[in-house]
Amino acid sequence: MGEPPQQLIRDARRGKEEALLRLFDEHHLPLFRFAWRLTGSIADAEDIVQDCFVALLRPDCGFDPARTTVRTYLFGAVRNQWLKRLRRQEQRLAPEPMDHRTPETETLRNEVTRVVAGAIAELPATQREVLLLAHYEQLSLAAIAEIMQLEITAVKSRLQRARAALREILAAYAPERSGLYERQ
Amino acid sequence: MNDNELDRLLDLWEAPPPRRSLRDGLQARFPRSDRRGFASPLRWALAILLASVALAGAVAIAQSSDTLSDLPVVRTLNDLYQNFLEARQAGRAKSIVTRIAESEPQVFVDGRSVAPLEFGPAATMNVQIPGEGVYSITSYPVAERRTADGRPTGWVEAGHIHGKVIEFRAAGKQVRIECNKPIVDGDRPVFAIHRP
């Protein structure tokens, strides 16, 4: 149906803005969500996503359609941009609980949401990335392995460790114990 | 806590939608090629030559007794002008489609929500009308064609776009497409054709 991404990238490099916007429209949402969950900041997530699309236009961009899909490549680019920023800012942890507050912070749902965000933020970075890609973006273990340049078995074990840690941290908030779902 | 319970808890942490500035910012950063200047002496020479030819042509026309529209140069200029107008209209129609695509359009037929708008080639959009099939619409001013007794055989002016709304009639039904932001200033006609 649509043009292949490599054709759109070629067109965009030749100055066709609509080609870049088509790529953007197709892929920006999951990339933005991933970047936001990594950084906890809408502004930072937007910067990262824009940087990734602009980087696609550079002739030295490493995207190779024979090796990977453009979405997997872009997820990897988001991750690299985030790591770069992390090193630059020397900040250990991205999502601050305050960033996820809404005017209805008094509700249990929002309290639990903050706890969940905080619990994920407490995970070691590599476990957190695997969890975000696997749970929130529903990527396969193979795709995550490609993005993070790990073996599939390593991805699998990190995901298991992340989920085990979250189970422990969030035990008190299990739905049937907290009554969270009944109150909605 | 089992896997399902953990998943439900994790799902509570929803990401906000990106702001419009994300797309706008990317567009602003898109490297546009600079417009070519007119600095080269060769280009200036060409411009002076063309101006001279135009002036000579004007003098020749003034001295000629022929009808202006019969002159080849006038016909060529007229064709060029018509092509320019058509390209401009096509550009406008395309930008309207782009604005509609970015405005989360919702389609209603006789007040009932129907399948989403599909975007076709050449500044057209397709609307699925239950029981009637697909109608293509465009804001490009296409010429109407009718049989001797007035029945349409091609595109017909069927409605208009005003503000955030596109309204037209097709197969005796009222079609309304609502966008979340203004598409045009003022009012523009909409043309439709049945795609059997």
Q: Which of A43-47, A119-123, B79-83 has the lowest mean pLDDT?
A: B79-83
The predicted structure's pLDDT at residue A99: 47
CA distance linking residue B187 with residue A175, whole number of Å = 53
Residue B144, pLDDT above cutoff 80: no
Q: How many CB pairs below 8 A link A and B?
A: 88
CA distance linking residue A26 with residue A19, whole number of Å = 11
Q: From the CA of B42, how many Å to the nearest CA of chain A?
A: 26
- Name the residue in chain B with its Cα closest to that of A52: B26
The predicted structure's pLDDT at residue A180: 56
Q: How many CB atoms lie within 10 A of CB A24?
A: 23
Residue B50, pLDDT above cutoff 50: yes
Residue A101, pLDDT above cutoff 50: no
Mean pLDDT of B46-54: 82
Token representation of residue B112: 């009932």
- Name the residue in chain B with its Cα closest to that of A176: B5
Q: Which of A129-133, B9-13, B45-49 has the lowest mean pLDDT?
A: B45-49
Highest mean pLDDT among A81-95, A128-142, B32-46 belongs to A128-142
Domain boundaries, chain B: 101-195
A36–B27 C-beta distance less than 8 A: no
Tell me: the pLDDT tens digits for B1-32? Answer: 788 889 988 998 989 998 888 888 888 887 75
Q: From the CA of A93, how many Å to the nearest CA of chain B?
A: 17
Q: Pick A154 or B86 by higher pLDDT.
A: A154
Mean pLDDT of A125-154: 93
Question: In chain A, which segments carry CATH 1.10.10.10?
Answer: 95-184
CA distance linking residue A181 with residue A177, whole number of Å = 10
The predicted structure's pLDDT at residue A139: 92
Q: Pick A8 or B65 by higher pLDDT.
A: A8
Question: In chain A, which segments carry CATH 1.10.1740.10?
Answer: 1-94
The predicted structure's pLDDT at residue A98: 43
Q: From the CA of B26, how many Å to the nearest CA of chain A?
A: 6
B26–A120 C-beta distance less than 8 A: no
The predicted structure's pLDDT at residue A107: 67
The predicted structure's pLDDT at residue B62: 66
The predicted structure's pLDDT at residue A97: 45
B12–A112 C-beta distance less than 8 A: yes
Parallel, antiparallel, or unpaired for β B165-170 and B156-163?
antiparallel
Residue A156, pLDDT above cutoff 70: yes
- Band (pLDDT 50/70/90 cuts) for residue A183 is very low
Cβ-count burial B70-109 (b if 16+ within 10 Å, e if not): ebeeeeeeeeeeeeeeeeeeeebbbebbebbebbebebeb
Q: pTM, whole model, 2 decimals?
A: 0.53
The predicted structure's pLDDT at residue B66: 57
A174–B9 C-beta distance less than 8 A: yes
Highest mean pLDDT among A179-183, B53-57, B177-181 belongs to B177-181
Q: Which residues of chain B lie closer than 8 angstroms to A28, CB-CB?
A: 18, 22-23
Residue B170, pLDDT above cutoff 60: yes
What does CATH list as the number for A95-184?
Answer: 1.10.10.10
B18–A173 C-beta distance less than 8 A: no
Residue B64, pLDDT above cutoff 70: no
Q: Pick A88 or A31 by higher pLDDT.
A: A31
Fold type of domain A1-94 = Rna Polymerase Sigma Factor; Chain: A (1.10.1740)
The predicted structure's pLDDT at residue A140: 92
A170–B15 C-beta distance less than 8 A: no
Q: From the CA of B87, how many Å to the nearest CA of chain A?
A: 18
Phi, psi of B110 (to 5 degrees): 50, 40
CA distance linking residue A70 with residue A63, whole number of Å = 7
Percentage above 90 pLDDT, chain B: 11
Which residue among A50, A136, A175 places its CB closest to the CB of B5? Answer: A175
Residue A30, pLDDT above cutoff 60: yes
B82 sits in which H/E element: helix B72-101
- Name the residue in chain B with its Cα closest to that of A24: B23
Q: Which of A19-33, A100-114, B6-20, B174-188 has the lowest mean pLDDT?
A: A100-114
The interface residues of chain B toward chain A in range 23-52, judged by CB-CB distance below 8 A, are 23, 25-27, 29-33
Mean pLDDT over the full length of chain A: 83
Q: Which residues of chain A lie closer than 8 angstroms to B22, CB-CB?
A: 28, 32, 46, 49-50
Tell me: the pLDDT tens digits for B109-131? Answer: 998 988 888 887 767 888 989 88
